[in-house]
A and B are shown apart, each in its own frame.
Chain A
Amino acid sequence: MMAAIAVTRFGLGARPGEIDAAKVDPQGFLIGQIRREGADIPQDGGDTSAQRFEQMRQYQQQRKMEREQKDGQADKTAANIQTFKDSQRELRDKVNADFLARARLGANTPAGFRERWALFWANHFTVSATKQITSVLIGPFEREAIRPYVFNSFENLLVASSTHPAMLTYLDQAQSVGPNSQVAFNAARRGGKSKVGLNENLAREIMELHTVGVDAGYTQADVTEFARALTGFSIGRDNEERAGQFVFRVNAHEPGGRTIMGRHYGQSDVAQGLAVLKDLAADPRTARHVCGQIARHFVSDTPPPSLTTRLERRWMETGGDLALVAKTLVESPEAWDPTPAKFKTPYEYALSTWRLIGAEPSAIERIAPILTGLGQKPFSAPSPKGWPEDAQTWASPDGLIKRMQWAQGFAATAADRTDPNALAVQALGDRLTPPVAKAVSRAETRKEAFALLVMSPEFQRR
C-alpha cells in the first residue's frame, strides 16, 4: 500500500512499473528525489527573461507600426503587417512551448514527487497570463526563480520570486514609484501630467499570500509602508545594461526609514526591501501559513493539525530549509493514511492519465483544451492566490462530465492493445478496490474499461 501511496499521492501518478520500483523502500523512493540543486528544468527553447523581453519589445514596435499604417499615417505595406503577425504567432508559440515542455516533463519524469514539489511552489508564487508581457515570462520565471530554489531556503526562493521580472510585471511593481522620490519630483516638475506614484499590489500579496498570511494581524499602514520599501524594484530598459532583468532604481525609491509590523528599517536603498523580505521569510507566522498549505496540497483539504505542526517546527528549526521540510513531510505518518483525501486537479489528472500509458502529450492541442474546459487554462490562474486545491472546486458536476468526455476520447486512442486488468493494477497497485477491478473486468470493450479506470473514484483521488 505504501508504494501505491508514494507514487500516487506524493507523485504524479504511476508510470508503467513505477509502483513496483517504489516497493522496496517507499519513503526512500521519495527522499531520493530531493536534491539541493533544485527541480528539473523543462526542456524547451531555453529563452531567458531578458530574451523574451527583447522579443516582446520588437513585437510591440511592429504592432505600433501596423496601427499607424491603419490610421494612414504611414505607407501600408503588406510585408510589415506580415512581420507583425509572425512575431505575434512566434510569441504565442513560445508560451505554448513553455507549457508543453512542462507537461512533458510531468508526464515523463521518474521523480514525480520532485516535480509535484516544484508545481506546489510555482502555484504558491503564482504569476498568471493576465498581461501579455507576463504571459511570455511565466516559463522563464519557473526556470529561473522557482525550480532552482525549491529545495533551498525559503528566503532565497522568496527573494528570487519577488525580484523576477515576471512577478514585477504581474503585480505591477515595476512602475511603482515613491511619491517623494527623485523620479516623482522630476515628473511633477515636467508638468504633472504623467502618472507616477505608489502601487501596493506586490507588497500586499507578498504579505497575504506568499508569507505571513492574511490573518497575521498587519494593517493597511504596514502594507503601504512595505510598498514604499519596495519602490525601486524594477526591470532594466532596452538601453540599459541589465535590459529585461531586475534592477534597483534608487531614484524611484521612497527616501527615509520605515516601520513595518513593528520593526524599523533604516536602510536607504535595495537593502531596505530585502531586509523586510528576510524578516518576513523568518517570521513564524510564515512557517505556519506555508506549512498549512503544504499539508493541504499533499495530504488533505483539512489536514491533521499534528502534521502542520510537525512541518512548522521543522521549518523553524532549520530556518526554512525546504529540502528538510520536504523530507519531514515524507516521514510524517499522517501523510500515509490509506484513505485518499485529495481530488486531483485537472492538470494532475491529465498528467496521471498520460503517465498511466507511458506516454506524453504530443502537442499543445492535446492538453490545453481539456485543461481550459475543466477550468484550469494553461498559465492562467484566476488570481495571485493561484489555483484552488480543494475537491469542492474541481469535483463539480460540469467538471465530472467533461472529464468523462475526455476520458472517452483518450480511451479511443490509448486503449487499443493494453490489457485493462493489468493496467488497473499498474495504475493503482494496492489502492485498486474490488468494485473498480470488477467494473474494469466486466467492460464491453477495452475502450470502455480504460475510461472506467481513469474515471474511477480511486484514480481521480490521490
Chain B
Amino acid sequence: MTAQINRRSLLSLGVGLGISVNFLGSQAFAASEGGLARKKLVVIICRGGMDGLSVSPPVGDPDYARLRGSIAMRRDEVLMLDDTFGLHPELQAVHALALKGEARIAPAIASPDRARSHFEAQDVLETGAAHVYGTETGWLNRTLESLAPIRRVEGLSVGSTAPLILRGKVQAASWSPGKLVDETARLPTLLQDLYKNDPMLGPAFARGLETEAMAQTAMTAMAASPAMNMAAASTPSMTPPGTPPGTPQMTMASQATAGDKQNKAGGDAARKLGATLGGFMIQAGGPQIAAVSLDGFDTHAGQPGQIATRLSYVDAVLDGLHQGLGPEWKNTLVIAVTEFGRTARVNGTGGTDHGTASTGLVLGGALKRGGIIGDWPTLSEKALFENRDTAPTLDMRGLFKGALADHMGVDRAILDSKVFPDSAGVRPLTGLV
C-alpha cells in the first residue's frame, strides 16, 4: 500500500490521527528532494588526541622509523594502503573497505586551533568556529537548523550525554543502550505535562521518548538479522567501577592494561553499538545525521598497547555500522576525526605528547574511490610543524564543508557563514562523493 500513498494522503492521514508529524515531515519531502532525503552522514569524534601516525603509519616515509624509535611499526606489521601508508593492524574492517575503494585516509588534517589543548581543540572541532569561543553551538546542529526550511533532517548522538557538535537550537536526539521504556506507564505523559513550560526539559524529554520508540524498532530489526545476533536492550555499559570497562557508548575510560577478553567484550559492545546506530538510520524518518564519541586516545605513555585497543573499538564501531546500514551503506558517508594529532617523535615514556595534524578516516558506500585526501607534508625535519608535529595540510572544515555540500546538499553560502562562521577562505573539499 505504501506505493499508492502520496504526500497529500499521508499528510491528511497524519492530521486525522494526530500523530507523528516529524515522521511525516521527512517522508513528505522525500519526493521533491529526490535522493537527498536518503543521504546519511556520521561523524565520529575520537577524543584525547588520536595519533595519526599510528592510525595510518607512513612506513614508506624515510623519516618515520627514526622519529618514532621504539614505537615505530614495520611495513610487514601494518595493513598496506599504498607505497607510503599502511593502516594500523587493528583496523581490519577499515582496510577491507579501503580495498573496495570505500575508505580513504586524510593523513595531515587539523582543526584551525593550534593551542594543543584538548578542551580548546575539541571545542573548535565541534563548534566549527575559526577559533575557540567563536560560537556556542555545534556545526552539525547548525546544519540541521539551516536545512530545516528546506527539509527536516533528524540528528542523533550516541551516548548518554549530548556532545557539543550536536547542541544548539534544534533539539537533536541522543541514545545509549539501556532498558526500554515501559510504554504503558502514565509517568511519561504526566512528565510531558509537567515540562510543558520548561524550554530545556520539555523538548529534550519529548525527543527522548521518540528516540526510545525508534530504538525498539532498531533493536528488533537487528535481532531478526542472523548475522548480528543482536541482544535487545543489552546493557554492556552497566558495569561496576573497577571492572575494566571497554564499554560501548562511551566514555571509553578503560584500563590500558585490559586483557584480551575485556578487549573482545569492548569490541563486541562497540560493534553492536555501530549496528544499532545503523538500525536507527535506516528507519523511515530516522536520523540522517549522527555523532558518536570515542574516548581514550591521550596516549602519553605506553602508547602501542593503548592505541591498539582504542583502534580495535573504532574498527568495530565502523564494522557494525557498515553491517547495520545494509543496503543504505551506499547512501552513507562517515568521517572520523580527532581534535589534534601527536608529536612525530616518541617521548621519554613510550608515548607521544600533544601535536597538531592527525589522520582523518573517510568511509562509506557514497565515497568515490581515490588516494589519500589532502597532501602528505612528509616527516622531514623541514616539514615538521614547529619542529615537532605532523604539519597540517588540510583544514578539517574543508572536509566537513565538502561532505555537507556534495553529500547533504547544503548551500555554499550557508556553509561559509553560518555552519562554519568566517570560513569563506576555507574551500570545500569537493569530489568526495
Binding site for B on A (CB under 8 A): 91-96, 99, 128-132, 135, 171-172, 175-177, 179, 184, 193, 195-201, 204, 208-209, 214, 220, 343, 364-365, 368-369, 372-375, 377-385, 388, 391-402, 404-405, 408, 435-436, 439, 443-444, 448, 451-452, 455-457, 460
Contacts and interface: CB of A to CB of B under 8 A. Distances in A.
Interface string B327-360: 0000000000000000000111111011000000
B349 A435 contact: no
Contacts of A135: 241-242, 255
8 contacts: A129-B255, A130-B255, A179-B348, A195-B349, A214-B120, A392-B167, A397-B162, A456-B194
Contacts of A132: 244, 255-257
B198 interface: yes
A95 B119 CA distance: 28
7 nearest A-B residue pairs (beta carbon): A197-B348, A397-B208, A375-B160, A378-B241, A92-B242, A95-B242, A396-B162
Contact of B348 (A175, A343, A393): A175
A394 B163 CA distance: 10
Contact of B160 (A129, A130, A402): A402
Contacts of A91: 242
Given A372-B247, A397-B205, 16 more contacts: A131-B256, A199-B347, A200-B347, A201-B353, A208-B119, A209-B119, A214-B119, A364-B241, A384-B118, A388-B161, A397-B204, A399-B162, A402-B178, A404-B191, A439-B193, A457-B198
Contacts of A131: 255-257
Contacts of A365: 240
B349 to A, nearest CB: 5
Contacts of A395: 162, 200-201, 204
Contact of B47 (A196, A208, A382, A394): A382
A401 B212 contact: yes
Interface string B168-181: 00011111101101
B243 interface: yes
Nearest to B239: A372
Contacts of A93: 242
Given A398-B176, A400-B205, A444-B186, A128 B194 contact: no
Q: Quick one: which of A196, A204, A396 has the most chain B CB within 10 A?
A: A396
Contacts of B247: 372
A396 B173 CA distance: 8
Contact of B159 (A200, A369, A375): A375
B312 to A, nearest CB: 17
A397 B116 contact: no
B406 interface: no
Contact of B117 (A214, A399, A401): A214
B172 to A, nearest CB: 8
B320 interface: no
A364 B228 CA distance: 33
Contact of A375 (B161, B167, B208, B244): B161
A152 B204 CA distance: 41
Contacts of B115: 214
B84 interface: no
B253 A373 contact: no
B211 A398 contact: yes
A193 B245 CA distance: 33
B188 interface: yes
A94 B179 CA distance: 29
A393 B241 contact: no
Given A195-B70, A395-B204, A444-B186, A380 B253 contact: yes
B245 A200 contact: no
A77 B47 CA distance: 42
A80 B354 CA distance: 41
Contact of A200 (B172, B254, B353): B353
A393 B161 contact: yes
A233 to B, nearest CB: 14
B127 to A, nearest CB: 13
A18 B161 CA distance: 31
Contact of B242 (A96, A179, A408, A457): A96
Nearest to A444: B186
Interface string B98-139: 000000000000000001111110000000000010000000
Interface stretch (B56-64, B295-303, B420-428): B295-303
A391 B204 CA distance: 11
B347 A198 contact: yes
B185 interface: yes
Greatest chain A CB density within 10 A among B181, B191, B239, B254 is at: B191
B349 A176 contact: yes
A129 B161 contact: no
B91 to A, nearest CB: 22
Contacts of A393: 161-162
Contact of B194 (A179, A372, A435, A444): A435
A380 B300 CA distance: 18
Contacts of B347: 197-200
Contact of B301 (A172, A369, A385, A400): A172
B82 interface: no
B353 A199 contact: yes
A355 B205 CA distance: 25
Given A396-B161, A402-B178, A383 B298 contact: yes
B386 interface: yes
B29 interface: no
Nearest to A221: B386
Interface string B280-300: 000000000000000110101
B190 interface: yes
Nearest to B195: A457
A396 B160 contact: yes
A373 B238 contact: yes
A444 B189 CA distance: 13
A372 to B, nearest CB: 5
A383 B238 contact: no
Nearest to B209: A401
Max chain A C-beta neighbours (<10 A), residue from B187, B191, B242: B242
Nearest to B259: A63
Contacts of B300: 171-172, 199, 201
Contacts of A99: 241
A369 B204 CA distance: 22
Contacts of B244: 132
Nearest to B207: A397
Given A199-B349, A199-B351, A452-B191, A380 B204 contact: no
A195 B256 contact: no
